[in-house]
Amino acid sequence: MLVLGIDPGSVNTGWALLESVGKKVNYVDSGVLSFNGSVTFLERLGQIKCLSDKLVEKFSPDDIAFESLIFVKNPSSALKLAQARGIILSSFVEKYQGRIFEYAPTLVKSSASGHGHADKESMQKFMDMVTGKREYKTHDESDAVAIALCHILNKDSKLSNVKKTKGGRGLAASLAHKV
C-alpha cells in the first residue's frame, strides 16, 4: 500500500510517500511544495491547486493522510491554512473518496515517537529507525513522513473509517470568540 502523507501549508506543503508491505515500511520519496510567498494569497491558491494536482498524478497513492488543523493564535493565519488545506483536498477528494484520512497532531507524534507531545528530535529518531536515516529539507517534509507513518501504523484500528482527531475543541469553537 502506498500512502501519501501531507502536511498542508499556505507557503510550504510537506509531502511524503511511504510504502507498507506487510509489517515493513519503505521510504519512497518526499519533498516540499513551495508556493510563491511574494504574490497575494488568492493568487497563491492557484499554485497550490496546480502543484497538488501534479503530485497526486505523479504518484497515484492508495491512501492519503493529512494532519488535522491545529489551533493557531492568529485567526488570519488559521483561515489561510484552512483555505490552502481545502484547495489541496480538492485535488484528492473526487478520486480518493473514502481513502483520505485525518490525524490529530498528538496522534501523529505519539505514533512516531510514543509520546503525544514529543519534540522534533524524538520523532526524527523513531522515523530514522523505521525508514532509514534521512536529511529532510524542512520540518514540513519530515512532518509529512510522520503523518504517512501514523496512517500506516493506525490504518487497521477500529477507527480506520472515521476522523482520527480526538479531544480538544474544534477549530470553529476555538475561533468563535474572535469572529
Beta-bridge mates of residue 2 = 19
**Catalytic-role residue among 67, 102, 141, 143:** 67
62 is catalytic: no
The pair phi, psi for residue 37, each rounded to 5°, is -75, -10
Q: What is the sign of the dihedral through the CA atoms of 108, 111, 116 and 122?
A: negative
Our answer to whether residue 128 is catalytic in this structure is no
For residue 102, indicate whether it is catalytic: no
* DSSP assignments along 68-98, one per residue: PP---S-HHHHHHHHHHHHHHHHHHTTTTTT
Distance CA 170, CA 168 (A): 7
Active-site annotation holder among 7, 63, 102, 141: 7
Please tell me the total number of residues recorded for the chain in this structure. 179
Q: Which of 63, 102, 140, 143 is catalytic?
A: 140
By annotation, the residues acting in catalysis are 7, 67, 140
